[in-house]
Structure formats: structure tokens, C-alpha cells
Amino acid sequence: MDISSFILPLMLVVLALPLFLSARKQKKVYAEMQQLQSSLGPGDRVMTSSGLYATVLDATDDTTIELELAPGVHTTWLRQAIREKVQDQVEDSADALDDEDADTAESKADLAPPLEEQKNK
């Protein structure tokens, strides 16, 4: 047996193995994304693929989802645009600060002078 006859099959295995593993990983990620998008319901806080945070209002349609960006601002998105569910960090940070801490944090903030003053100097 000549060693050169084993090189071609060995090269095929070495090149095909990463491709096979990559395809398995992509399939797993796709299945997780499908499961996430099908599990969305009203009240869920989500982030879109463009980085926009919103709250789910209506998820009854199979292809679209209604999101609330701000109070009274409703938009319709494709389900595929939802990247992930997120925790509402605004409420968490508001609970962490006392009213006294919030007042002192605001009073310590340095403000830049108005632009009109800078132009006159």
C-alpha cells in the first residue's frame, strides 16, 4: 500500500468535518430562534435585530408581530426581526435607586454652558 493513496481520503475527511460541524451548529441556532419566535406573547420585552427594544402587544399572526416602542407608539414587524427576549432593565435600575440617591445624582451632574455663551467668548 502506497501512502499517497490515503492522502486524498484523509484530505476529504479533514475538509468535510468542519463543514459538517458548522452545518449542525447553524441548524441548532435556527431551531432555537424558531422556538423563541413562536413562544412570544403579549407583555414580553424583546430586542429586534436592529437593536430596538420594545414590548410585544399582539403575537397572534404567524408572520408578523405588533410591538409597542413607547407608550402609544405601536408598530408591526416580521417575527424574524425579533432577536431575543430581554429583561426590563429600566424597572430594575429604578428599584435600585432610592429617591434620595436619584436627587443627589441629578444635582451632581455637570452641565455644559449653552452654545450662545460659547459663541460670544
Residue bearing the bigger pLDDT, 10 or 101:
10
pLDDT given at position 7: 86
What mean pLDDT is reported for the chain?
Answer: 80
Is residue 40 scored above 70 in pLDDT? yes
54-82 per-position pLDDT tens digit: 999 998 888 999 999 999 999 999 999 99
- Tell me the domains of the chain and their CATH numbers: 4-103 (2.30.30)
Residues 15-44 have a mean pLDDT of: 90
Q: And the C-alpha cell for 76?
A: 408591526
The torsion angles phi and psi of 47, rounded to 5 degrees, stand at -120, 135
Q: How far apart are CA 55 and CA 64, in angstroms?
A: 14
